[in-house]
């Protein structure tokens, strides 16, 4: 076993140790893995199947069903714009267009190794905060042109 592989396994075990073994905690585990690694490594899916005593196919099905989960490493910063009904009505298209203009990145055109990617999803489940943008896992509700500029400025400071 290589050092990086051992480190990955240790980090996965640490995440699992904080959860009960019930299959109802699968999505929470996947969210924590996504937050820790920026995507869902294959090893995490296999370990989840063992830990939660469910088939690897079921774990993969859950992981690929939700657009919040990435199955491969992505860009350094991930921005997710909700385009669900409430967000759409409150200007999600304009939000995506403004982020694209400010960052010089086209939504949905992720290039691994690049600094920023913009994703559009059907619903983030926080309609009362519409329109919503998630930046590296941090939710920003009721975004405006002014708040988008501040979000982009904050991202520029993280480089």
Provide mean pLDDT across the span 81-103.
Answer: 96
- Give the containing element (helix H, strand E) for 29: helix 26-37
Asked if residue 14 is part of any domain, the answer here is: yes
121 and 56, same domain (yes or no) = no
Q: Are residues 102 and 128 in the same domain?
A: yes
If one counts the domains in the chain, the total is 2
Helix axes 3-17, 26-37, angle to 10 degrees: 140
Q: Which residues pair with 78 in a beta bridge?
A: 117
Question: Which 3 state secondary structure label does DSSP give 117?
Answer: strand
11-26 pLDDT, tens digit each: 999 999 998 878 899 9
Q: Whole-model pTM? A: 0.60
pLDDT, tens only, 44-88: 999 999 999 999 999 999 999 987 788 888 777 889 999 999 999
User: 3-class DSSP state for residue 41?
Assistant: coil
Q: How far apart are the first and last CA of the chain?
A: 33
| pLDDT of the residue at 37 | 87
Domain region containing 100: 77-157
Same domain as 130, residue 100: yes
Mean pLDDT in residue range 130-136: 94
- Answer positive or negative: Cα dihedral of 38, 43, 48, 51: negative
β-sheet bridge partners, residue 133: 81, 140
């Amino acid at each position: 076993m290589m050092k990086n592989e051992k480190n990955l396994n240790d980090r996965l075990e640490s995440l699992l140790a904080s959860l009960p073994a019930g299959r109802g905690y699968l999505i929470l585990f996947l969210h924590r893995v996504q937050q820790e690694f920026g995507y869902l490594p294959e090893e995490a899916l296999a370990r989840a199947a063992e830990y939660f005593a469910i088939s690897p196919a079921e774990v993969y099905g859950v992981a690929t069903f939700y657009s919040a989960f990435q199955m491969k490493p992505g860009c350094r910063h991930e921005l997710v714009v909700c385009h669900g009904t409430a967000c759409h009505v409150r200007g999600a298209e304009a939000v995506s267009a403004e982020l694209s203009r400010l960052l010089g990145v086209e939504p949905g055109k992720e290039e691994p190794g690049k600094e920023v990617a913009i994703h559009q999803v059907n619903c983030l489940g926080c309609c009362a905060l519409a329109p919503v943008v998630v930046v590296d896992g941090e939710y920003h509700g009721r975004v405006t042109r002014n708040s988008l500029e501040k979000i982009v400025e904050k991202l520029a400071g993280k480089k």
